[in-house]
């Protein structure tokens, strides 16, 4: 954390002195050795600070840049800050604050673009205060790169990643519990694709095994007018399926019929909220192809398989698991793990994905250690498999909430929720918090058309942008070429706040992709919407009282807002309405 600087030195006065700086950081970059092409402004600052560390004798001239910069939580602590002096002081035997003073002097000798002043805070933080030119550069970058180019990156370097998500058993319609995190998987795929990964979306269809036979038995019982078996499926959907089944009185055939119908329903449900998969991968196809036997043979070659009591076991304790795991039961049925390892062998060793991300519900946490051990047993670095666990969501209506169970038949169907609050609300609300945090959805708030409704709040900002564009057309106002507009007219606090939010988007997208955290884009979208609502209220754009020069600058700020908000909403899979 940064702290307010002490009022203690002539140095502080010297650090505040005016600094000549280039109009844009492109000009600064052209006079400095830059590796790796275009840099973000954060990277420009980091390199400038690293260069200052070289000037202080802390880093070798040929050393790699190591400085870290971040945006302070409070604007009074500067536009950017760095703890570089604190990080490096001990290694060079200096006091952090003394090194910070020297570092500040070095920065002012060869300043990064737009630097206004530097303040030393606390034991040795440097707070960097910039002139607004860096924000004008961000606006220019936004509108010049547009929706297709702004906030893109190449941190994935073309790595092929498969994201498997939802993968609910097709033994009943998707409910809120097992379908809620579908938006997470899809949004993660979107942000990773924007950051240079080759992304493949996949649904693993568990269309074999005991649960399918139980479903078939439940369907046949309903067709005969009998009670469903105790371990069967009780939902009304079973009776509906039974009314359409004309096949033989065979649990396997009935189960296959039911899962096929249910899978069609799942596809339609997910498509209704914009989730489309590259592949629906059948577990039955894995087992019928002999892939399980081939996988077990591979593990046996590595001495990691043994038989006991008629079952086939994986010696997973030798790979850090708490106990050995069954791959094939004594009945001959393949366990979830047996099928999963054959499936992951196909992912890594056959289709050769560089990385796999599995999104499971929290109730699958016990499977993770054995799956990681099994992947390692296949000769795959376990770091190439990431397992993300989604926590439970509760629906609150009229102050009451309840538990859901597909087998008991008292679940809340995801279709019903989508019909109630709409696909946009379903997606955005499921991306409001981190995947690993339990959440509560208050339906009464979501249904309201008020600023308390976060979906309405965000989309209304885009609708307001569109309303300004309509007024432009109605009044015959044209946006002048950007290079002829004085962006220096944007000095109002609301304007600068909005510019700051726009400038944050590229870093936000990178962090969301790197940390597998698309909810950060949701947070950014809400902040951007808040900044635009404040701007809209306090900074009229086309009112007669607004000078032409200022109106033109504000029109370009509106355009940059449209581009960046549109990008953010698209990454979340949420529409950007022009009217509300």
Residue 3: count of CB within 10 angstroms of its CB: 12
Architecture of domain 454-572: Orthogonal Bundle (1.10)
DSSP states of 243-290 as a string? HH--S-S-HHHHHHHHHHHHHHHHHHHHHHTT---SEEEEHHHHHHTT
pLDDT in tens, 277-301: 999 999 888 888 999 999 999 999 9
Burial pattern 346-358, b for ≥16 Cβ within 10 A else e, equals: bbbeeeebebbbb
Helix axes 548-572, 519-538, angle to 10 degrees: 160
pLDDT band of 26, cuts 50, 70, 90:
low
Give the mean pLDDT of 461-473: 97
Q: Identify the pLDDT of residue 399.
A: 58
Closest CA to 11 of 112, 114, 106: 106
Q: Identify the pLDDT of residue 189.
A: 98
The set of residues, in sequence order, having a beta carbon less than 8 Å from that of 285 and lying 6+ positions away, is none
pLDDT in tens, 31-72: 444 333 357 889 899 999 999 999 999 888 776 667 899 999
Burial pattern 201-240, b for ≥16 Cβ within 10 A else e, equals: bbbbbbbbbebbbbbbbbbbbbbeeeebeeebbbbebbbe
The model carries a pTM of 0.89
Give the mean pLDDT of 120-135: 96
Per-domain residue ranges for the chain? 10-131, 165-284+391-443, 454-572
> Which is higher by pLDDT, 30 or 85?
85
Closest CA to 187 of 529, 427, 388, 436: 427
pLDDT band of 210, cuts 50, 70, 90:
confident
Element (H, E) at 359: strand 355-361
Alpha carbon dihedral 372, 376, 382, 386, in 10-degree steps, equals -40
Indicate whether 4 pLDDT > 50: no
CA 149 to CA 412: how far, in whole Å? 40
Architecture of domain 10-131: 2-Layer Sandwich (3.30)
Q: Identify the pLDDT of residue 63.
A: 64
CA 47 to CA 67: how far, in whole Å? 7
Q: Identify the pLDDT of residue 342.
A: 95
Q: Identify the pLDDT of residue 411.
A: 65
Give the mean pLDDT of 446-450: 79
- Where are the extended beta strands (E) located within 97-234? 115-121, 125-130, 160-164, 198-205
Q: In the Cβ-directed half-sphere of 200, how many Cα atoms lie within 13 Å?
A: 17
**Angle (CA) 398 177 189, round 5°:** 120
Residues of the chain with pLDDT > 90, as a percent, come to 77
pLDDT in tens, 348-387: 999 999 999 999 988 888 889 999 999 999 999 999 999 9
pLDDT in tens, 214-273: 999 999 999 999 999 999 998 889 999 999 999 999 999 999 999 999 999 999 999 999
Beta bridge partners of 357: 163, 386
CA 508 to CA 151: how far, in whole Å? 8
Closest CA to 147 of 100, 97, 193, 194: 194
Q: Which class in CATH covers the domain with range 165-284+391-443?
A: alpha beta
Query: Contact, 268 vs 234, CB < 8 A?
Result: no
* Alpha-carbon dihedral sign for residues 363, 405, 167, 170: positive
């Amino acid at each position: 954390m940064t702290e307010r600087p002490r009022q203690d030195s002539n140095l502080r006065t010297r650090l505040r002195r005016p600094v000549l700086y280039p109009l844009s950081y492109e000009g600064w970059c052209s006079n400095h050795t830059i590796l790796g092409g275009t840099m973000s402004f954060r990277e420009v600052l980091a390199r400038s600070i690293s260069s200052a560390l070289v000037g202080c004798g802390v880093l070798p001239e040929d050393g790699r840049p190591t400085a870290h910069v971040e945006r302070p939580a409070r604007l009074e602590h500067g536009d950017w800050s760095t703890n570089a002096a604190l990080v490096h002081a001990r290694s060079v035997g200096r006091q952090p604050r003394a090194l910070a003073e020297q570092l500040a002097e070095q920065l002012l000798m060869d300043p990064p673009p737009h630097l206004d002043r530097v303040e030393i805070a606390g034991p040795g933080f440097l707070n960097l205060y910039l002139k607004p030119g860096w924000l004008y550069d961000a606006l220019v970058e936004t509108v010049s790169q547009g929706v297709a180019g702004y906030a893109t990156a190449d941190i994935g370097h073309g790595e092929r990643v498969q994201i498997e998500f939802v993968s609910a058993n097709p033994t009943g319609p998707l409910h809120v519990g097992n379908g809620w995190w579908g938006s997470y998987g899809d949004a993660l795929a979107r942000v990773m694709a924007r950051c240079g990964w080759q992304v493949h979306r996949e649904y693993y269809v568990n269309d074999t095994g005991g649960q399918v036979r139980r479903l078939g038995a439940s369907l046949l019982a309903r067709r005969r007018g009998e009670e469903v078996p105790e371990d069967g499926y009780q939902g009304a959907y079973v009776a509906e399926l039974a009314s359409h089944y004309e096949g033989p009185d065979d649990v396997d055939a009935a189960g296959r019929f039911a899962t096929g119908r249910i899978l069609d329903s799942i596809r339609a449900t997910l498509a209704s909220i914009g989730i489309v998969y590259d592949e629906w991968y059948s577990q039955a196809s894995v087992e019928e192809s002999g892939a399980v036997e081939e996988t077990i043979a591979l593990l046996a070659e590595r001495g990691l398989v043994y038989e006991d009591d008629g079952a086939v076991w994986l010696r997973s304790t030798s790979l850090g698991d708490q106990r050995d795991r069954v791959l094939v039961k004594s009945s001959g049925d393949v366990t979830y793990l047996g099928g999963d390892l054959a499936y992951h062998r196909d992912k890594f060793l056959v289709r050769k994905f560089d990385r796999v991300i599995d999104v499971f519900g929290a109730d699958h946490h016990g499977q993770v250690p054995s799956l990681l051990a099994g992947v390692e047993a296949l000769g795959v670095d376990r770091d190439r498999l990431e397992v993300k666990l989604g926590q439970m969501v509760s629906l609150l209506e009229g102050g009451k909430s309840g538990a859901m169970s597909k087998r008991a038949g008292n679940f809340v169907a995801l279709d019903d929720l989508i019909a109630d609050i709409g696909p946009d609300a379903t997606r955005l609300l499921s991306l409001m918090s981190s995947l690993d945090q339990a959440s509560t959805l208050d339906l009464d708030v979501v249904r309201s058309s008020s600023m308390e409704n976060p979906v309405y709040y965000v989309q209304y900002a885009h609708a307001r942008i569109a309303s300004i564009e309509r007024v432009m057309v109605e009044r015959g106002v044209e946006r002048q070429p950007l290079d002829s507009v004085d962006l220096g007219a944007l000095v109002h606090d609301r304007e600068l706040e909005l510019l700051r939010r726009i400038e944050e988007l590229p870093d936000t997208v990178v962090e969301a992709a790197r940390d597998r955290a698309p909810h950060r884009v949701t947070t950014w979208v809400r902040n951007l919407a808040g900044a635009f609502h404040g701007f809209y209220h306090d900074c009229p754009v086309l009112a007669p009282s607004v000078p032409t020069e200022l109106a033109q600058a504000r029109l370009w700020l509106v355009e940059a807002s449209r581009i960046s908000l549109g990008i953010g909403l698209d990454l979340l899979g949420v529409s950007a309405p022009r009217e509300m």
